[in-house]
Amino acid sequence: MTEERNIEQDIETLEGLLGVHFKDTSLLLSAITHRSYLNEHRDATWDHNERLEFLGDAVLELVVTDFLFAKYPDKPEGELTAVRAALVNTNSLSSASETLGINQFLLMSKGEAKDEGRARQYILANVFEACIGAIYLDQGYDSARDFIAERLFANTEKIVEKRLWQDAKSRFQELAQERASITPTYETLSQDGPDHDRVFTVGVFLRHEKVADGRGRSKQEAEQQAAQAAIAVKGWG
């Protein structure tokens, strides 16, 4: 069985998972193709997904903004913006990709395919946006809106009720002050990797107690991951 035929079968299966029958399946093929795949497959006749991701991101923002504007007529702009950010962040979009099963259909280089954790989350989130872009181009705005609504909107009330729209550091600080009368502090525990691909490990402390740690490609990202982990460790979610 050839690789080309396998890809064709994958596209047909993926259409079923997405619930969309494409008129132009090359759009869906591009949506699942990482730039690195084309570097190893010079004979590929289709594009990678970055342009579709750019388009899908804009469609996603409009759809979610329209939904939140109608659902919460009394919320101020700042809170709506924060709720929207929580609804479409990397964790949310990568989770939606995983739920759909898109992960098994990604086309990427052998090196990229080995990435796990946060790096894979970014790829999955980008592919989700690229699929939105592909659906929008092939099926129109209403189909893209329905696709987004089915996969993301159910999370909205949980985000609002549990104030998950707050960034993790702000939320953990609020909870720590409320429940323990302590303001959390953060300490960089280690830095790994070369300068161009540095990974930071940061611990979050309540006085002398290290509650949790987090890793990220910047100190800010690592602090957010640490705070999110600390909320879970404390059972304050």
pTM of this prediction?
0.72
- Domains, in order of start, for the chain: 3-161 (1.10.1520.10), 168-234 (3.30.160.20)
pLDDT tens-digit map of 155-205: 898 888 877 777 789 889 989 999 999 999 999 999 998 888 889 999 999
Note if 129 is an active site residue: yes
Q: Which of 3, 4, 50, 57 is catalytic?
A: 57
pLDDT confidence band for 76 (50 / 70 / 90) = very high
Q: Looking at the chain, list the stretches that DSSP marks H as alpha helix, in order from N- to C-terminal side.
A: 3-18, 25-31, 35-40, 50-71, 77-87, 90-100, 110-113, 118-139, 141-152, 156-161, 168-180, 219-234
Coil, strand, or helix at residue 88? coil
With a cut of 70, say whether residue 6 has pLDDT above it: yes
pLDDT confidence band for 8 (50 / 70 / 90) = confident
pLDDT tens-digit map of 32-53: 999 988 888 888 889 999 999 9
Note if 57 is an active site residue: yes
Nearest to 216 by CA among 232, 230, 227: 227
Q: Which of 53, 112, 129, 138 is catalytic?
A: 129
Give burial (CB, 10 Å; 0-12/13-18/19+) of 71: middle
